[in-house]
């Protein structure tokens, strides 16, 4: 009888130890994932020059915009080999918001849901400029980030982040525009820290899988 009791106690100890190890691994892995996420968020903020909160609903936009920084300008381009302003803006809206835009800045300006004053701009809004000398003819477009910063494909510098207060953009500014967006929240989830384990480890539910102590009959006096 004592041997059976010792054997059952031993099994129970093993099961409890295994469960404890799994819990520790899960906690460490979750902390590791969160640490990596916050590091990436810090790097993303530095790259774009904007402060990004961990719960920002615009992570997908920031992530996609940062991917294109430094891409060279190419008239009519819409690939990693080179983009122009409307091509870049169209890519951002297609990837982040699942929406298609026209291929010309002037046409996009006509298609906005409504115009937006500079002081009322929100993340994801469009910003329009007339840089050709024609004060009314819109020929440049970018995507507003926050804090007066916008990302766009510049003829001279490729994809960069610029400030609306720069003299050049203050002089050539025409209007802001907002297009009702569809799917940003859907794309946001892929940039949140993963809570699950990065390696496959069987999960042990202690309450349901460990034998009930009362069922072990540790102190049973019956002989079998």
For the annotated catalytic residues, the residue numbers are: 85, 140, 152
Handedness of CA 65, 80, 78, 169 (dihedral sign): positive
C-alpha to C-alpha distance for 14 and 88, rounded to whole angstroms: 58
Burial of 129 (0-12, 13-18, 19+ CB in 10 A): buried
C-alpha to C-alpha distance for 47 and 41, rounded to whole angstroms: 10
- For residue 184 the two structure tokens come to 């940003």
Calculate Rg over the CA atoms of the chain.
28
Residue 199 main-chain phi, psi, to 5 deg: -120, 155
Q: Which of 86, 94, 42, 106 is nearest to 64 (CA)?
A: 94
What residues have CB less than 8 Å from 193, skipping those under 6 apart? 33, 34, 36, 37
What residues have CB less than 8 Å from 104, skipping those under 6 apart? 86
């Amino acid at each position: 009888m004592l041997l059976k009791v010792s054997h059952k106690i031993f099994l129970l100890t093993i099961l409890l130890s295994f469960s404890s190890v799994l819990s520790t691994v899960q906690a460490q892995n979750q902390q590791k994932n969160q640490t990596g996420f916050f590091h990436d968020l810090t790097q993303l903020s530095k790259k774009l020059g904007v402060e990004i909160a961990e719960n920002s609903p615009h992570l997908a936009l920031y992530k996609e915009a940062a991917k294109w920084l430094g891409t060279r300008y190419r008239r009519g381009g819409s690939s990693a080999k080179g983009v122009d302003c409307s091509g870049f803006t169209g890519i951002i809206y297609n990837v982040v918001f699942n929406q298609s835009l026209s291929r010309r800045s002037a046409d996009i300006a006509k298609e906005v849901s409504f115009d937006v004053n500079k002081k009322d701009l929100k993340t994801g809004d469009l910003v329009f400029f007339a840089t050709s000398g024609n004060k009314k003819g819109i020929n440049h477009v970018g995507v507003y980030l926050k804090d007066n910063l916008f990302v766009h494909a510049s003829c001279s510098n490729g994809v960069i982040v610029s400030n609306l207060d720069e003299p050049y953009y203050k002089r050539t500014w025409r209007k802001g525009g907002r297009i009702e967006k569809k799917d940003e929240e859907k794309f946001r989830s892929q940039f949140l820290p993963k809570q699950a384990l990065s390696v496959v480890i069987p999960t042990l539910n202690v309450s349901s899988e460990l034998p009930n102590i009362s069922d072990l009959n540790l102190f049973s006096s019956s002989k079998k």
